[in-house]
Amino acid sequence: MTTSSTLQAADMIAAWTFDETEGNLTRELVSGERDTIEFALSKGRYQPAQAPRRKPGIGGQALVFDGYSTYIRRPAAKLRQPHGGLTIAVWVAPGLYDLCAEGRPSTIVNRHDRERAEGYLLGIGRHGAWTLQLGLGGVWTELWSDAASGVPLQVWSHLAATFDGEAGRMRLYLNGEPAGERDVPAGSVLSQSAADLMIGRNNQGAMLAEAFVMNHFDGRMDELSLLDRALSAEEVRALYREGLARCGGAVPALSPEDFMLPRGMFARDRHRPQYHVTTPGHWMNEPHAPFYYEGRYHLFYQYNPKGPFFHYLHWGHAVSEDLVHWRDLPPALRPEPDIDPDGVWSGSATFDAAGKPVLFYTAGNNAHRPNQQIGLARSHPGEGDPDLVRWTKRPAPVLALDRGDAVEAVDGMPLDEFRDPYVWQEAGRWVMLVGAGLEARGGTALAYVSDDLENWTPRGPFFESDPQKYPFLGTAWELPVLLPLRRDGEETGKHVFIVSPWGPGARSDIYYWIGRYDAERIRFEPDHEEPRLIDYGDFHFTGPSGMVDPRTGRSLLFTIAQGERSPEIDYDCGWSHGAGMPVSLSLLDDGTLGVEPIEETALLREETLLDIRQTTAAEANRLLANIRGDMLEIELTLRAAGRSALAVRRSPDGAEETLLYCDRDSGEIGADRTRSTLDPDERTRGIQSGPLALGEEPLRLRVLLDRSLIEAYFNGRQSVTTRTYPSRTDADRLLLYAEDGAVVDRLTVWRLGGAYS
């Protein structure tokens, strides 16, 4: 019944070895019954169903818990209750710590009701502290590990927790050694809980976004046993030694790469983009801190590795040699207890005096007000780290409002919003912009200068606008970006200043001004008062970050392409959001902003499906009837009056289609998603549009179609980014709508390959 000579059958409540190599069932040894392993991808909502993952464990297989959906439930009726004592023993290799919403641990195993002070729980708290929690005589009693006995990340550890009611003692053991002890009244009795036993999930976890239960275990688990007596210290050591013997005397070595989500788990999801930057899986928010160093582009992004929801953010990391083919790297920055315990939020990159990359980021710390401070992390190139996987954080922030760093040189009190540093080097110094807001004055970016990257001098607001006149700019600004603008590769003396509004009344899109950057005063002087939109996608083109490409001199803008789905769908799919294609910004002859996808997109072209010139719309449609695909690039030059449109993700009967249109009479462009999907659970509906007067110009439309993600660029001056989630698998056609007499000057369609090998 059990693989351990230390554990006696008569003492066993339940035990699992997790030695199955596949499938959704695992055998409980005491009863001999099989329990279902819950796992989101087992539903197979938009791709073939998958079983939970297994990886090598302590002498056999281990079960991998994904941090949000993997868990086991054993009904209360199938378990006996512990009596005078309790032991829980298990091998774990946590992949990530947890934010521990509502103060509840990420749970290894539990059968409890904290509010009623019933039952038991073994779990891990923030940053590796771990705990045995019991209901004893109507009192919820917690024992936490000693400060030096936390559970390390991504390393196998043996945990044992015991409760001896007669002696009145709770104990913890880490790898056979004492890790914590607490006395309770002698003769204490464990209050029984009627709850089901759950493995990997807190049975009273906090709820988020109506679909996600928090406080899950993330990582690998093996050899879990529950006994109704307290093992002695020597028995615990013997149990630990038996585990070591099963794996040759030493625990299996693990690396950060072993805990990365396999990208292939989501590759067959029919809605997930494949040639854009995405996380390996789970949640992605805005990309940031792009830079080029020793032949590689680096890009970071807001990442929740624990699930497809906004929570406990890390910095994901990807690297590329050409901006379109990418490799996943382990997360570069994770929350740490003394610096950024509540999340590592957005920021940027620069280079220090020695030319080494440096990251600036927003350190989330709810113990401070505001809970946003500016942190710094340094790289270690030349030390066996060519991909810049290792980053060392400065032990304290470089800027914090609660120290008064931002109050000097500001006429007006900053609001409690202070985040998203954007840093660049110029004329022997560094300049930083931080997104903020001023009381009764609206959004701003606060400016700072430094001679050493460590000490920063405030220089006041970089730029402000009129919140009364433009209330959609909100009460604060996030993600400020300043980039120089070239025309035909030549400097123009103009810059574009970009912000993302935040707060009551804010429209969460990307707004910009073109103007002059005064480097002496650290001020921006706009050429036009009214802010402008780069993209008309209504929250599908957000989260800006930027860089000047040292190879080409281009000013590049990176964004997030929001997903617009329900939490229930995100749960079932296991991923949410993704990056937009980087765009190149320039100054056009008429003084307006030029917006084009980067030229490297052409490197993704695998096959030319159609290339026609000087023909009618009818003839173009005859040829388009043979084209099918959901990973395409399309270039169309069309001379037509009235309203014309290109339908993408179209079903043969037109019941589903998304229209990218140009209406010359009204001077409007947009995406019409009225018939994008027949799935009642999807939220993609409506029309996203804005003005663009083309005059006598032909329509020049460039479209990047990547499964659910659509990016349309109109005449190099305006873009529309949107999403579509057709319900039908045959919604992969194209059709051109145009009035009689329309001339297709050129229409080219390419099939594109993926960004990840």
Evaluate whether 128 touches 219 at the Cβ level (below 8 Å): no
**pLDDT at res. 757:** 86
Q: What is the CATH number of domain 12-41+72-249?
A: 2.60.120.200
Euclidean distance between CA atoms 504 and 513, whole angstroms = 22
| Core vs surface per residue 85-106: b (16+ CB within 10 A) or e | bbbbbbbbbbbbbbbbbeebbb
pTM: 0.96
12-41+72-249 and 604-752 share one fold = yes
**pLDDT at res. 83:** 81
Helix and strand totals (H; E) in the chain: 3, 53
Q: Would you list the domain boundaries of the chain?
A: 12-41+72-249, 284-599, 604-752
Using the structure block, give the residue that is written with the tokens 């690297």: 319
**pLDDT at res. 196:** 98
Most distant CA pair in the chain: distance in Å? 94
Euclidean distance between CA atoms 240 and 180, whole angstroms = 17
CA–CA distance from 477 to each of 480, 593, 644 (Å)? Answer: 7, 21, 37
**pLDDT at res. 409:** 47
Euclidean distance between CA atoms 747 and 21, whole angstroms = 51
Share of the chain above pLDDT 70, in %: 98
pLDDT < 70: residue spans in the chain: 1-3, 403-414
Euclidean distance between CA atoms 119 and 163, whole angstroms = 12
* Cβ partners under 8 Å of residue 720, min gap 6: 535, 536, 537, 660, 669, 670, 671, 688, 689, 690, 710, 711, 712, 714
Evaluate whether 698 touches 638 at the Cβ level (below 8 Å): yes
Q: Please, which residues bridge with residue 529 across strands? A: none
Tokens of 576: 């949410």
Euclidean distance between CA atoms 585 and 605, whole angstroms = 22
**pLDDT at res. 2:** 44
**pLDDT at res. 59:** 85
Kindly state which CATH superfamily the domain 604-752 is placed in.
Exo-inulinase; domain 1 (2.60.120.560)
Evaluate whether 734 touches 634 at the Cβ level (below 8 Å): yes
Kindly state which CATH superfamily the domain 284-599 is placed in.
Glycosyl hydrolase domain; family 43 (2.115.10.20)
* Cβ partners under 8 Å of residue 400, min gap 6: 368, 373, 374, 418
Q: Please, which residues bridge with residue 559 across strands? A: none
**pLDDT at res. 439:** 85
Q: What is the C-alpha end-to-end distance of the chain, expressed in Å?
A: 44
